[in-house]
């Protein structure tokens, strides 16, 4: 079983490289437009839901009245139904982009492989080529179909939420804003390390696939030279390396996610304490406090998602 070391690519992120992929996405610009448009609507709905709750608290619950509740209920249900339809259509469009772009990338890579010299195939295992073609095309297509769209949604959501919070009450908004740098630093620290180990897992996985292929196609040679035990030993070394790398990545995730939840809980607790005092002093309404608590609980997820997707985009 010949050892093959994959070349490391550590070049900095370049838009020029991504622009080379533009011809693969251009035929599906209609799906991109649909997905982006619907994600703008979805971001708007996600932003409005806490405001709906605030209106219900201040208009119906606190005054203990039901006038207009029927109209409010119909509007709220209509928004939720519209959100459901938008999610369905958006997922369908994004899936179409992912599948079609992946198909076109695989076809282009297959044609390119036919033009390579014999020396390339003499030095590069077939299993490795197969693993990289399948995994890389899927990863790139998924990043374009889902990653960029999710980044677009997260950016709109985060900016809009902070604008609304500062419009409602700058003091409570500033409390939540103070936690954001902690989340950002934590995300950058952990995501870089998680991506490092995930890259190693993918690299070893391609080597394992290559070993599978060589083990099957070279079985006669292995038996004639009586090297089955050596091949098995090297194969188990590779699988052990992949196992350890996957566990290391999982351990980092196991620390990272609770840490994010901790800071989110701290922000919610501080907002609840300060906001509760402001409600008692009639500085803000109870509905406004509910908006801040809702935003404090969920605002860090899109920030975390935005940082993670940027890191993945750079690593692709």
CATH number at residue 81: 1.20.1560.10
More confident residue, 39 or 14: 39
State mean pLDDT over 58-77: 91
Answer whether residue 246 is part of any domain: yes
pLDDT digits (tens, 9 = 90+) for 99-142: 999 899 999 988 988 888 888 888 777 777 777 788 788 888 88
More confident residue, 250 or 184: 250
Answer whether residue 10 is part of any domain: no
Which residues span the domain enclosing 211? 15-315
DSSP symbol at 225? H
Answer whether residue 9 is part of any domain: no
Answer whether residue 4 is part of any domain: no
Structural domain total, the chain:
1
State mean pLDDT over 175-180: 88
pLDDT, residue 45, reads: 93
d(CA 245, CA 248): 5
Q: What are the b/e assignments for 51-86, b being 16+ CB within 10 Å?
A: bbbbbbbeeeeeeeeeeeeeebeeebeeeeeebeeb
Answer whether residue 56 is part of any domain: yes
State mean pLDDT over 216-241: 71
Answer whether residue 258 is part of any domain: yes
Q: Band of the pLDDT at 314, cuts 50, 70, 90?
A: low
Answer whether residue 8 is part of any domain: no
2 pLDDT above the threshold of 60: no
Q: Band of the pLDDT at 10, cuts 50, 70, 90?
A: low
More confident residue, 10 or 297: 297
Q: Band of the pLDDT at 171, cuts 50, 70, 90?
A: very high
Q: Band of the pLDDT at 1, cuts 50, 70, 90?
A: very low
What SS3 state is found at 267? helix
Percentage of residues in the chain with pLDDT exceeding 90?
Answer: 33
Answer whether residue 3 is part of any domain: no
Highest mean pLDDT among 8-22, 207-221, 289-303: 289-303
pLDDT digits (tens, 9 = 90+) for 147-164: 888 888 988 999 999 999
Highest mean pLDDT among 13-17, 87-91, 248-252: 87-91
d(CA 176, CA 164): 13
What is the chain's mean pLDDT, rounded?
Answer: 84
According to DSSP H, which parts of the chain are helical?
15-19, 22-25, 29-56, 69-114, 118-123, 126-142, 148-168, 170-217, 219-225, 228-280, 286-298, 300-315
55 pLDDT above the threshold of 90: yes
Predicted TM-score of the model (pTM): 0.77
d(CA 171, CA 274): 9
């Amino acid at each position: 079983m010949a050892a093959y070391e994959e070349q490391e690519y550590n070049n900095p992120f370049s838009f020029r490289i991504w622009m080379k992929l533009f011809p693969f996405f251009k035929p599906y610009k209609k799906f991109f437009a649909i997905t982006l448009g619907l994600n703008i609507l979805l971001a708007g709905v996600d932003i409005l839901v806490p405001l709906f709750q605030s209106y219900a608290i201040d208009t119906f619950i606190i005054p203990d009245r039901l006038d207009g509740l029927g109209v409010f209920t119909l509007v709220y249900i209509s928004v939720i139904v519209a959100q459901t339809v938008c999610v369905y259509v958006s997922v369908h469009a994004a899936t179409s982009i992912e599948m079609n772009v992946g198909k076109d990338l695989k076809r282009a890579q297959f044609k390119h492989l036919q033009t390579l010299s014999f020396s390339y195939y003499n030095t590069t295992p077939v299993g490795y080529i197969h693993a990289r073609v399948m995994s890389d095309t899927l990863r790139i297509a998924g990043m374009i179909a889902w990653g960029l769209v999710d980044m677009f949604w997260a950016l709109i959501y985060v900016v809009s939420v902070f604008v609304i919070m500062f419009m409602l009450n700058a003091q409570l908004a500033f409390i939540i804003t103070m936690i954001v740098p902690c989340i950002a630093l934590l995300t950058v620290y952990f995501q870089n390390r998680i991506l490092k180990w995930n890259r190693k897992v993918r690299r070893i996985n391609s080597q394992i696939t290559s070993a599978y292929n060589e083990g099957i196609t070279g079985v006669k040679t292995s038996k004639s030279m009586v090297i089955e035990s050596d091949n098995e030993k090297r194969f188990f070394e590779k699988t052990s390396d992949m196992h350890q790398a996957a566990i290391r990545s999982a351990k980092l995730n196991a620390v990272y996610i609770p840490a994010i939840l901790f800071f989110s809980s701290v922000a919610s607790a501080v907002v609840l304490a300060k906001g509760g005092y402001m409600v008692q002093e009639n500085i803000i309404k109870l509905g406004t406090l509910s908006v801040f608590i809702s935003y404090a609980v969920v605002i860090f997820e899109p920030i975390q998602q935005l940082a993670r997707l940027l890191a993945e985009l750079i690593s692709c």
